[in-house]
Chains A and B, each alone.
Chain A
Amino acid sequence: MQERLFRSERLAAIGELAAMVGHDLRNPLTGIAIATYYLRTKLGKRIDRKSQEMLKLIEQDIRHSDKIVNDLLEYSRELQLELAVTDAKAVVRDALAQVKRPKKIRVVDSVESHPRIVVDAEKIDRALVNLINNAIDAMPNGGMLRIAGHSSREQLEISISDTGEGMTKETLEKLWSPLFTTKPKGIGLGLPIAKRLVEAHGGSIRVESKPGKGSKFTVTIPIRLNHEVREVKHEK
């Protein structure tokens, strides 16, 4: 119990530090990005292939660093929901549009537009993007990404399944801990952010996984009624 308390205090401190570092890194990163844009537009095609490649590398690393900063800020920021009516199909479509899908991964999206849901679409999008990216990363040699929807009167479920590496019991135990990662380039905030965003909607994420077979993440979101939405908005 004491160890868990110590760990949660440590994580809170890391979260605060992460937010500060994120804010402070944002400015020099912006400067680097603008200076790189200047070089690209000024020099254009006049520079040799190697220099073009180096510019591209700088741009890629700026995007990667921006993502890390965004994750740090997203995880430490206080959440405020901006609720609006949408549907599961639209949310999944927007999330899929934001991810880079390798050709060797087949995507099957069978989510339907019913029922209507009231969510902060941008935040649910973000949670789904993180889960989809996670599924894609689990299939380095290709495979199938399946996104399905299922609803009852009270809740909507969106499941994201991959045919990738799957996870061991040890990995599953630490899966939602911030800063835990098995990826060489990750910082371990993608899944905790997804969980935080879904839980802010009163929802949850559950996971099933078998090593060598793949994993399935299921997002459950309560279907709010109009008067409940008004109450949530009022509370804000």
Chain B
Amino acid sequence: MKEMEGVRILVVDDEEGIRRSLEAVLEDRGYLVDTAENGQEAISKSKTKFYNLALVDIRLPDMDGVTLLTAMRETTPKMVKIIITGYPSLDNAIAAVNKGADGYVVKPFTMESLLGTIKEHLQKQKEAKRYSEEKVTEYIESRAKEQEAKPSRRRS
């Protein structure tokens, strides 16, 4: 459960049954979950709070999921975005990935496969974060060494 601690997920779906059941399962797995029933609500929530991952239905009442992805790519570039599509066609999936989705899940899906997809993407996000932190540390250390190596002007 520890690896899910503090991990925030936003579920965006206009179907109440899907929002509430996904929220229950994900919270039971230790995730912190918020829900949004349309695109506008999702955008405003993602502006005020950081989410590690968003599950976005491709059909929303006020905008389609792909448009929402484009909007959220600008405001929350680091959030993992997974699209949930009811149309099992490769074209929809490719369009979604081109517009900023990190992955997609096709309805009907099993919860095991969805949980697996979520875990896999969060792991990648964690590794990317660790890598960028290592790069920053490396840069600071090398700059510090360069400074130390420079002869002091005052002494000369």
Contacts between the two chains (Cβ within 8 Å), count? 56
Interface residues of B in 27-42 (CB under 8 A from A): 28
Judge whether B108 and A33 touch: CB under 8 Å.
yes
Query: Which of A29, A34, A80 has a CB less than 8 Å from the CB of B22?
Result: A34
Judge whether A29 and B108 touch: CB under 8 Å.
yes
Q: A23-B86, A26-B86, A27-B86 are in contact. Are A38 and B17 (CB under 8 A)?
A: no
Interface presence of B111 (CB below 8 A): yes
- Is chain A's binding surface mostly helix, strand, loop or mixed? helix
Least Cβ distance of B32 to chain A in Å?
17
Interface presence of A182 (CB below 8 A): no
Interface presence of A28 (CB below 8 A): yes
Least Cβ distance of B25 to chain A in Å?
5
Least Cβ distance of B20 to chain A in Å?
8
Interface presence of A2 (CB below 8 A): no
Judge whether A28 and B111 touch: CB under 8 Å.
no
Q: A37-B25, A38-B21 are in contact. Are A31 and B90 (CB under 8 A)?
A: no
Query: Which of A28, A33, A37 has a CB less than 8 Å from the CB of B15?
Result: A28
Residues on A with beta carbons closer than 8 Å to the beta carbon of B20:
31, 35
Judge whether B28 and A31 touch: CB under 8 Å.
no
Q: A26-B107, A26-B108, A42-B28 are in contact. Are A31 and B17 (CB under 8 A)?
A: yes
Residues on A with beta carbons closer than 8 Å to the beta carbon of B107:
26-27, 30
Judge whether A34 and B18 touch: CB under 8 Å.
yes
Interface residues of B in 1-57 (CB under 8 A from A): 15-18, 20-22, 24-25, 28
Least Cβ distance of B67 to chain A in Å?
19
Interface presence of B89 (CB below 8 A): yes
CA–CA, A23 and B109, complex, Å: 15
Judge whether A27 and B21 touch: CB under 8 Å.
no
Judge whether B111 and A37 touch: CB under 8 Å.
yes
CA–CA, A151 and B89, complex, Å: 31
Interface presence of A66 (CB below 8 A): yes
Least Cβ distance of A42 to chain B in Å?
6
Interface presence of A32 (CB below 8 A): yes
Judge whether A27 and B28 touch: CB under 8 Å.
no
Report A27-55 CB contacts with B as 1/0, cut-off 8 Å: 11111111101100110000000000000
Residues on A with beta carbons closer than 8 Å to the beta carbon of B86:
23, 26-27
Pairs of residues from A and B, 6 with the lowest C-beta to C-beta distance, nearest first:
A31-B17, A34-B21, A37-B111, A35-B21, A27-B15, A31-B18
